[in-house]
Structure 1
């Protein structure tokens, strides 16, 4: 990797700003002052010093975000706030992207990373990665619904979903609403909402709780994010 690209990805500024650091003789590679921005460097092998301080470079970043409603799962948009708008500028330099999408009005767990290989593994239809949601439903969810979800639900476009696990948490007959958890292994457009609509019910509120073995940190407030721990990253890659 070119030294100017590596330094820019490390949050030390734009390519133009990084070139100023190089010209000022502030960058050393293996005890040699480097001024050429095209110099090739291997961060896993070479010792890189910035004004005498060792550079701790991370090739990949992994962030757990508790996505709020009203924010879209995209890297840029002209009309809506995106999940990247919730990140600090220093955390955007390595160009993370959302792994999958949550609807604009859906809250909860969203993984942001620049690890393309991991993204592919988590989103590949062949992997059947579990995604669990909490939902508030308009209507009384029944054992019949549990059976239908387990067998696969036929959506309005005649697509039959893969089997899903539906758990009833509570029923409120007075308000005619239900609270449930649902685990699916697909990510079709508005899938959870369409599945409930297919059985005559509507989703009032939806929040993703987990994706694979990654579970939303209960202490993470809406709109907040944090780096995934080494254990969480290992679980995602397992």
Structure 2
């Protein structure tokens, strides 16, 4: 049995349509139709021959440009982290940590990046070090979307300033996108949505403080192609097939030659991936 859960068919590999069916892409018959229509690629090359065989442990397969997960030993979990929980699988100071949310899985999961203890929202748990490296390393520029409840009434001029750029003690920074969701005249504060690819420490809180609107509450709603959706606070679930495909597609695209230098310089071990600085 291979890591993909597909039985080996000898040194020549496994029939491609069988691999696709085992991965949950479609039935074997429909998988054959996808292959014949030229919608399946193996290692970047279109394959239309129904007798084609691959090695599920090493070959990369995509359908309509979306990556297919063949290695069933990999786990991808999304958590809506509550406030007060530290982004660590074991906190040495005894504070609430992530172990409670990973106990359902026998694999050794680790968190991709960090959220500050006072920040809630989307956190990814996985045992896939390569994917974690792409999601967490600044060189890949994976975007994150935050909703910040802040003090005071935010104006359109302040939103423009955030996207134009401000200077903090550790250098200039600009939001990729910023928009005002609501603002109260009665002292109820404002809601601001910020999209950033920076991984600098407590960057959202520092940006909003710099423009005169300290953060009261902060939630990460999106991480790359993943959305928090209706997952309740403290809720945890495995990614859907579509979500896994989107993540793996991102990882394969970003792990191209242009990032070889960054990949060599960065430590993509689980412990390193989980140490990305918090917003």
Report the TM-score, using the length of structure 1 for normalisation: 0.73
1:83 matched to 2:83? The reply is: no
CA contact (8 A) 1:136 1:177 kept: yes
Query: Gapped runs of 5+ residues in structure 1?
Result: 1-40, 48-56
User: Aligned in 2, Cα 1:58/1:138: closer, same or farther, shift over 3 Å?
Assistant: same
Query: Kindly tell me: are residues 111 and 198 of structure 1, through their superposed partners in 2, closer, same or farther at Cα, counting changes over 3 Å?
Result: same
Alignment match, 1:59: 73
| C-alpha distance in 2 between matches for 1:169 and 1:194 | 19
Please list, as runs of the form range in 1=range in 2, the aligned pairs for 1:1-238 lying within 5 A after superposition.
Answer: 42-44=2-4, 58-78=72-92, 79-88=94-103, 90-91=104-105, 93-155=106-168, 157-175=169-187, 177-218=189-230, 220-238=231-249
Q: Distance in 2 between matches of 1:206 and 1:181?
A: 10
Any unmatched runs of 5+ in structure 2?
A: 9-70, 250-279
> Larger Rg: 1 or 2?
1
State the alpha-carbon separation in 1 of the partners of residues 248 and 3 from structure 2: 22
Q: Secondary structure at the match of 1:154?
A: strand
SS of 1:180 mapped into structure 2: strand
Deviations 1:170-208 (A, max 9, x none): 110111510111111112111100000111110001111
CA-based RMSD of the aligned residues comes to: 1.8
Number of corresponding residues:
185
User: 1: CA distance between counterparts of 2:207 and 2:161?
Assistant: 10
TM-score, reference length from structure 2: 0.62
Residue 42 of structure 1: how far off its partner (Å): 4.2
Which secondary structure does the structure 2 equivalent of 1:119 belong to?
helix
Q: Distance in 1 between matches of 2:188 and 2:7?
A: 64
What corresponds to 1:24 in structure 2? none
Q: Is the 8 A contact 1:62 1:111 kept in 2?
A: yes
